[in-house]
Amino acid sequence: MTLPAPIAGRVALNELVVHGWDLARATSQPFDPAESAVRGSFELLAASTDPAQREPIFGPVVPVPEDAPLLDRAIGLSGRDPAWSPDTVTTTSTTGQRVRPQGLRTLGRPANLG
């Protein structure tokens, strides 16, 4: 796939913001990216809220209040729940296996954390 350099740069920046949040949240670390990086990520994600255009790259948008911090709104647009924390990983009652809460998706891997 060929992308114009400005778009490729925005995609790369979005990857750093979203996956930086993933890593920080999963390890209970603070994450405070530059406002300009968050704005760029938000703008990129806001341009693709149509479910048909999002699949399979992003999961469904997770609703976040309009007055929430911009990072939380960007994370919601990425298909993640900004309220997620490692403490919200639950155990299924039937199998006893650990599973991801709804709102977190991992492409190419099952949602089961087993």
pLDDT in tens, 27-79: 999 999 999 999 999 999 998 877 777 777 788 899 999 999 999 999 999 99
Residue 100, classed as helix, strand or coil, is coil
Q: How many Å apart are CA 66 and CA 57, to the nearest integer?
A: 23
Q: Which residues contact 13 (CB under 8 A, 6 or more apart)?
A: 37, 40, 41, 44
pLDDT digits (tens, 9 = 90+) for 72-95: 999 999 999 999 888 776 555 555
* Whether the predicted model's global pTM rises above the 0.85 cut: no
Nearest to 33 by CA among 86, 71, 7: 71
